[in-house]
Amino acid sequence: MTPPHEPRSKPPLRLLAPGSRTSASARASEFSECDASAGELPLIELEGIGKDYVTGPEVVHALIDVHLGIPRGQFVAIVGASGSGKSTLMNILGCLDRPSYGAYRLGGVDVGARSIDERALVRNRLIGFIFQGFNLLPRTTALENVELPLVYRGLPRRQRRRMALEALEQVGLIGRVAHRPNELSGGQQQRVAIARALVTRPPVLLADEPTGNLDSKTTLEVMELLERLVETEKITLVLVTHEDEIAARAHRVITVRDGRIEADSLAPLPPPPRRTGPEPRTSRA
């Protein structure tokens, strides 16, 4: 597997950072464009990550010795067959699961080794989740859904409200704040979910098949929204998908197979210009 273009070197798979422990936000300014030049500190850094599951007498190696670095502001698509380990990879990236071995540094902090409560803090502060099934709380308004992460941050109600309204405005749903999920279309629900992921201003968005439940028109809308966030907010977007058209929109496509990274390819121009149609630009092995 080789990237089809040669202006940049290979993505920073094994970029080792000096282990300084400044916070992600303080570090934010250090990251410029999604540039993977040497010396740049990646926001996400996996070093020899592995995950084993013990199921009865068998040990399943879901991930084996994964090395990966993702700089700030990059839009990365993770593709792979089901059972390839991409979900496990996402769960570890999202601090929902712990690696069996290896180090996971997020913004220079080794979050893989932290306690349950500390990982909850990481999820609350550094990561925004977007799910295939939206996972909005039923019978709860869009506004309250978006406020949820801020509740666990312990912010007072007025501040929560203000921030949630800003996030809903960002996703273009300011007119739907009092609607409950069942009163919203699928695309609107996913935009509420994106607002919920954005409201904490995290450096990283993790999206697991975010358009899997949407039709092609709303898929396009949601993707354009996500891409705009990457562009304007310098958010790092890691997106799991099995649709080639979606993956084709990413700056970089990582293919997972049998628990290993099989291919890792960059798109020609980071950040990519607005594209009108899906048009695969990466090659995969």
- Which parts of the chain fold into alpha helices (H)? 24-28, 86-93, 116-126, 142-151, 157-170, 186-198, 216-233, 244-247
Residues 96-115 that bind another protein (CB under 8 A): 96-97
Nearer Cβ to another protein, position 211 or 282? 211
Among residues 127, 4, 112, the alpha carbon closest in space to that of 63 is found at: 112
Q: Is 62 helix (H, G, I), strand (E, B) or coil?
A: strand
Distant-in-sequence, close-in-space partners of 78: CB < 8 Å, separation ≥ 6? 86, 89, 90, 238, 239, 240, 241, 253, 254, 255, 256
- Distance CA(250)–CA(42), nearest Å, equals 17
Question: What angle do helix axes 142-151 and 157-170 make, rounded to 10 degrees?
Answer: 120
Q: Is 203 helix (H, G, I), strand (E, B) or coil?
A: coil
Which x/- pattern, by CB under 8 A, does the window 35-64 give for another protein? ------------------------------
Nearer Cβ to another protein, position 69 or 128? 128
Nearer Cβ to another protein, position 98 or 284? 98
Q: How far is the CB of 109 from another protein (least distance, A)?
A: 16
# binding residues, another protein (CB under 8 A): 30
Which x/- pattern, by CB under 8 A, does the window 77-96 give for another protein? --------------x--x-x
Q: Checking DSSP bridges between strand 101-106 and strand 75-79, what pairing results, if any?
A: unpaired
Nearer Cβ to another protein, position 153 or 234? 153
Residues 198-217 that bind another protein (CB under 8 A): 200
Which x/- pattern, by CB under 8 A, does the window 130-149 give for another protein? -x-x-xxxxx--------xx
Name the DSSP letter for residue 103: E
Interacting residues with another protein (CB under 8 A): 91, 94, 96-97, 116-117, 120-121, 123-125, 129, 131, 133, 135-139, 148-149, 151-157, 196, 200
